[in-house]
Amino acid sequence: MLKIITSSLCLIFLAFSTVHGEPQDTCKKLKCGDKGPTVHFPFSLKGRHPDHCVFPGFVLSCNEKHETILELPIPFKFPVKSIDYKAQAIQLYDPESCLLVKLLKVFNKSITPFHFSKNHMTDLTLFNCSLAERQLDEQVPCFRGPGYQVYSVLSSYIIEVLPLLSCTKMYNLSSVPYYSNYPDNLYLEWSEPNCGHCEAKGQMCRLKNNGTKSEIECVDFSKAGTKRKWVPTGASLGLFVVLLLVVAAYRVYSSDRKEKANQLKIERFLDDYRALKPSRYSYADIKRITNDFKDKLGEGAYGTVYKGTLSSELFVAVKVLNSSKGDGEEFINEVGTMGHIHHVNVIRLVGFCADGFRRALVYEFLPNGSLQDFISSPVLNGKFSQKAISQGFDLG
């Protein structure tokens, strides 16, 4: 029964956690590696964010080096260096240091939903210079050949003052997303979805549940997260308390049922031996007889013996049985056996007490030091030793 109750409560807890503990900020912040940028809406990590977190064109992925990769509609994939959600800008870099060469191949192609950052656009002029003598400082990485190297110069420079004796002008590039101070970095920005105002308020944005695919809303996930954590935690605590109460109630019920069964067994036995049984006393009678257990005579394996008085001339020894011992068999055996004994040399059972959980046996008192022999006598569990039987005790 206890296993069934426990299993049922566990199933209830799992169901409750699934329904009420489902976090609404499943578009949570993730990373590809320890040093990578934090990824959250409108960006999403392929295979790690659920579908409702994906905004078209903002899908990132993790490579084997734990780098965060932006997959643009061009043949090149650039790792992400940083993401500024408030300014809605993303910084990429080229680990091969060939950024300008790659840009020249895709410069006129669309990179929707992004556009090149205006703060990092410049006009350049390219020169093909001989390697015989170094002419300029701004080499274009990966743009060289047998006997020559290509250099980039800001078009605003006055060409006449440049050391271009062994150089040939190739062509001008207008509004190139190339920053010579950081030749490996590429800066992109986006306009939609416009989450900058959410970030400015310390919030995040997400897609509206009932809106169109492009409608967004600002959400304070820090407060929502606290509430979501409290719900399953409170449910867990409540169910745990309920479980403890059920277990405690079951144990009390089981113990009470066992004790009632033992009492019923004793009562049935006493009814069967009504003609033979000695006097029956209540627990209040036992306390009165022993003067509230004032005079302790000894202690045996199954109880403590006290001296008592039935009248001014009749003394008794009252053995109060330990309530935690056995299931009533010891009491039944001793009452049944001692109730049949009628011999001058054998202690006589005067009466007994079976008052709820309290049980006691009332014997005639044996003076002159013979009580210790009784406490450890062969009649401790209603069983007689071979010596006692050989002495011819009358058991009938």
Q: What is the 3-state secondary structure (H, E, C) of 270-296?
A: HHHCCCCCCEEECHHHHHHHCCCCCCE
pLDDT at 334: 67
pLDDT at 387: 37
Q: From first to last of the 396 residues of the chain, give the pLDDT tens digit.
A: 555 555 555 544 444 444 444 444 567 899 998 888 999 999 999 989 988 888 888 999 999 999 999 988 888 889 999 999 999 999 999 998 889 888 888 877 788 899 988 888 889 888 888 876 666 778 888 888 888 888 888 888 877 777 777 888 888 988 888 877 778 899 999 999 899 889 888 888 888 876 566 788 888 866 544 444 444 556 667 788 888 888 888 888 777 777 777 777 666 655 555 545 578 899 999 999 999 999 998 887 778 999 999 877 788 999 998 865 555 666 776 676 665 555 545 677 888 898 888 888 998 887 765 555 555 554 443 333 333 333 333 333
Structural domains for the chain: 122-176 (no CATH), 279-390 (3.30.200.20)
CB distance 365 to 317 below 8 Å? yes
pLDDT at 167: 85
Question: What does the DSSP 8-state code read for residue 42?
Answer: T
pLDDT at 329: 66
CB distance 156 to 124 below 8 Å? no
CB distance 155 to 172 below 8 Å? yes
pLDDT at 189: 93
Query: For the chain, how big is the Rg over CA atoms in Å?
Result: 48
d(CA 350, CA 318): 10
pLDDT at 19: 40
Q: Is 81 annotated as a binding residue?
A: no
pLDDT at 324: 52
191 φ, ψ (degrees, to nearest 5): -110, -35
List all residues 6 or more positions away from 22 whose beta carbon is below 8 Å from its beta carbon. none
Query: Which ranges of the chain does DSSP label H, i.e. alpha helix?
Result: 2-20, 99-106, 196-200, 221-272, 283-289, 329-338, 371-375, 386-390
CB distance 263 to 354 below 8 Å? yes
CB distance 93 to 35 below 8 Å? no
